[in-house]
Amino acid sequence: MTSPCILLIDDHAVLLDGLRMLLETRLDGVRVATAMSLSEAVMAETSPDAIVLDIKLSGINGLEGLASLRRKWPQARIVMLSSQDDMETRRQALERGAVEFISKSSPGERIVETVCNILDGQIPASQSSVGTAQPYLTPRQCEVLDMLNQGLTNKMIAKRLVLSDNTVRRHVQDIFAYFDVSSRTEAVFEARRQGLVT
C-alpha cells in the first residue's frame, strides 16, 4: 500500500521546514513534499492525498490557486492555513474547495490532528457548514463535469466512459448537489466561475 502523501505550500522557508518536520515526526509512514509557490506546486512530481496551503503566497495567492490545485489533484483534500482568521476569508476558502481552514496562530498539534483526520477520511465540521453535499468532486465526477462542459448528453457520456446510464445520471445529480444547482447549464456556469473547467 502506498504511503499517504502530504504537500505543503508556503513561501516562508522556516515555517515550511518546521511544519514538514512536525508532520514527519508525528505521522508515521507519511511522505511530505514541499513547495514555496503555486507554480512550483503544480510542477511537483507527486500525487498528494492532502495539501496544506498558505493563503498568502507571493505571485498567485492561496485563494486564487485553489481551483488549479483541485483541477490537478481532484482527490486531494486541501487545508487552508492563514494568518487572516476572519469569517469572510474562511468562508471564501471553504466555498472554493478547502475542506478546513486553520489559523497560523493555532498550535502545531492542531494542524497535525487536522491533517491526520483528513487522511483518515473524516470530513471536518467546518465543511458541513458550507452546505455542500461533499467536500470535493471525485476524479470520475470531474470527467463527467468536463463532458457536461462539452455539451455531451448523458447517453454520450455513458458511452465515452463505458458506464451505465444510471451511473452517469447519479454522477450528474451529485455534481448538481455539489454546486447547489438544478440544471446542467447552472452546473457548467458554476464550474467555469470556480475555474474547474474552461
Please write the tens of the pLDDT for every residue from 129-164. Answer: 444 445 567 778 888 999 999 999 999 999 999 988
Strand order in the sheet with 5-9: 31-35, 5-9, 50-54, 77-82, 98-103
pLDDT (tens digit, 9 = 90+) per residue, 18-58?
888 988 888 888 889 999 988 888 888 888 989 998 888 77
Q: In CATH, what is the architecture of 5-128?
A: 3-Layer(aba) Sandwich (3.40)
> Which residue in this structure is represented by grid cell 438544478?
182
Domain span(s) for CATH 3.40.50.2300 in the chain = 5-128
- Which band of pLDDT confidence, cut at 50, 70 and 90, is reported for residue 196? confident
- pLDDT at residue 132 in the model: 43
Which CATH code is given to the segment(s) 139-193?
1.10.10.10
Burial label for 138, CB within 10 Å (0-12, 13-18, 19+), is: middle
What percentage of the chain has pLDDT greater than the value 70? 89
DSSP designation for 132: -
User: What separation in angstroms does the CA of 176 have from each of 16, 130, 191?
Assistant: 37, 15, 11
Domain span(s) for CATH 1.10.10.10 in the chain = 139-193
